[in-house]
Structures are given as C-alpha cells and as structure tokens.
Structure 1
C-alpha cells in the first residue's frame, strides 16, 4: 500500500492509496486515521481533509477513482483521479481513452496520480523488460491529454522488485495546465519505502523560499575555453549602487 499527497498551506489535504489489498474497502476503518471524508473503489482509496477539500462528486471505476471537489482559494472545481492501471496493453489503451474523455467532459483543474504501470523512457527502467510500444502509448496519452509532470526528487525510481534488482518508475503525478498555473513552484518527492515495494510520492504546493541561492562554481569550468573572457565581460558590465555585500552578491549572480 502506498500514499500520494496534495499538500496545502494548512498541511496535507489529500491522500490517494492504491493496493489496499481489500476488494471490499468497507473493511478498512479510514475514519480512525483521518476525519470522516473518504472515497473507495475496490483496492483504491482516497482520503481528504474536509477543512481543505470539499467533495462534490465521485466516479468509481475498476481502474480509477475520481474525486471532484473544491479547494479553498481555487475558483474552479478540482478533479483528483486516483489511477491503478491494468497490466494488459489493450486495457491500458482503453483506460487512457476513458481518462481523456473524462477530462474533456468536465471543466476545471485536473491531476492524475497513481500507478500507471508504464514508463516514459528507457532510463526509467533498470534490469527490466523495456517495450517501446508501451512508452509510445503512454507518451501519446500524456500529450493528447495536455498533461505535464513536476521533476521528481528523492529517488529516480518508485518500485523495487526481485530483491531490489529490478527498478522502475511506474508511479507518477500528471497535472493539467491549470494546475501548473496555480502551483508553478510545487515540488514532487519520492519518499523512502517502509513496508511497501513502492515509494510514497509527496506533492507539496507550498512555496518554500530560503532566500538567495548560494553562488556555485564548479572546478570543471576552469577547463572551458573562453572562461576568462566571460568572467571579465560580466564584471565590467555589472553596475550597482548600494551596500558592498549586496553588490558582491549581485556581481557573483551576474557572473
């Protein structure tokens, strides 16, 4: 079982779970852990903080669970689609068409998250069978649905199998342009695994500003032709009126 979160300024606002190992989700007492808001479809489950997310509608499917609602500070409806894709290639294609049709039929902000059982490039697999047809299908779905994804930090892969010898990035979060426009500085991180062979993914929409980025210089740059000219040109073109320490920081940034 693994978890994916949408985080608001007040804390974690939404949790999506796949592989609960219960075909009958009523056997899990989610209210013990977090309030009384939940949606379930077989082995897929969603929980949310009712103080942040207000549910309007739910669509249950064998391979996904759609929760539609509103979030404080967002004027449009937000659609969270918890996906647990099938193994079959043909079934994945059918699922992709269904998800695209859903997105087109409803106005609002969209995020698709979960286990897609596909990768986007050969670099997202290690010591596993790589099928370029699957990659083409998945990338076509993402392109046609006009979705994007944030750079994932923490780990490169999200699942370890066969004694941690087979690695893949099968889990991800895909967002629409409106989502990206609302939270352009959101961060995505793969967290360490504990009891599962999947990494939990944490999407934080809270902007973290730790001040100016420190000046960095790599030794390898010293071997680049024309480095002296670039530095001299940057220094000679830099102008600033103010405190010396701020001027130095600005000059280094200019370089």
Structure 2
C-alpha cells in the first residue's frame, strides 16, 4: 500500500489540489492523509480533483473555524473500511488490507500545540491501538520536532519530542 501524508496548511486553492493530484499519480498513492485542510466542508468533487479519479472512499474531520481539518482518501480495492472514529485531532479507520486480508487500523493525526492536549491525545490513541487486534499505521502532523538539529529559530522541547 502506497501512502502519502501531507500538512497542506489550507486546501482552498486549485493549484494545491492539482499538486496533490500530481503527487498521487506520480507515486501511485492508494491512501492519502491530508492534515490542516482548513475546510469545514469537502465535496465529492473536491476529493475527485485531489484523487484523480472516481475510485475512492473518504472520511473527514472538519476544520474548527479556520483551523485543523483532516481528510483521508483511499482506494477501496486496496483498503476496506469497516468503521471509523473521528475527532478534531484524528481520524481512525478500522478495516483490512484487501490483498492479504490483514486487519489494519490507520490513524491520521493533526496534533494540538499544547503539551497537555498532546498527552491526552496520545493516551487516547494508545488506548485505541492497545484494544486493536491487528496491524496499525499512524501518520500525520504531530506538531513536534524529534531532533534538536531539526528545530531552527525556536526552542527545542525534549519532553515533547520524547
């Protein structure tokens, strides 16, 4: 399964949608996770423009005001969704990888800024994963920098990275 995860910092422009479509086609993506859509409504046609064809299913977490928003799009011949959980900070998709019938939990995250909120989110995600009997894939924007050398122009937070 080829996956692509992007923080797009707003999905309103046609140029950005065309860029994502180009990446999907170039890399033969069959699972797309887009964070920070900044959209409270996404139409089937919006998704078709991103995806490049009509062979898709999707789930969204709508933006709150002009902040957040997560869109997950996939090829139903590759991933079969059984059910999902949607929050302001994540979309969890429970299903299976069609080619080998392996149970798969896919979690797309757009983490909050505050340490306390992140801790709460990770506790919840950890609980979802620990109660799942199958493989897990977690992707997205964790709003954290893992290494001090990657943090330029601001203070590195070792506790958050851990």
TM-score, scaled to structure 2:
0.72
Deviations 1:160-191 (A, max 9, x none): xxxxxxxxxxxxxxxxxxxxxxxxxxxxxxxx
Structure 2 partner of 1:23 = 40
Structure 2 partner of 1:59 = 85
Q: Does 1:46 align with 2:63?
A: no
Deviations 1:193-229 (A, max 9, x none): xxxxxxxxxxxxxxxxxxxxxxxxxxxxxxxxxxxxx
Answer yes or no: is the 8 Å Cα contact 2:113–2:143 preserved in 1.
Answer: yes
Answer yes or no: is the 8 Å Cα contact 1:25–1:41 preserved in 2.
Answer: no
Task: Work out which of the two has the higher radius of gyration on C-alpha atoms and give 1 or 2.
Answer: 1
Structure 1 partner of 2:30 = 13
Runs of 4+ aligned structure 1 residues displaced above 3 Å come to: 25-28, 31-34
Which structure is higher in RCO with an 8 Å CA cutoff and minimum separation 6? 2
Structure 2 partner of 1:170 = none
Q: Does 1:103 align with 2:108?
A: no
Answer yes or no: is the 8 Å Cα contact 2:144–2:160 preserved in 1.
Answer: yes
Task: Work out the number of aligned pairs and report it.
Answer: 131
Q: CA deviation at 1:120?
A: 1.9
Residues 15/105 of structure 1: CA separation in 2 closer, same or farther (3 Å cut): same
Alignment of 1:49-128 (within 5 A): 49-128=75-154
Q: CA deviation at 1:28?
A: 6.4
Structure 1 partner of 2:16 = none
TM-score, scaled to structure 1:
0.47
CA-atom RMSD, angstroms? 2.3
The answer for unaligned runs of 5 or more in structure 2 is 1-7, 10-19, 63-68
Q: CA deviation at 1:21?
A: 1.5
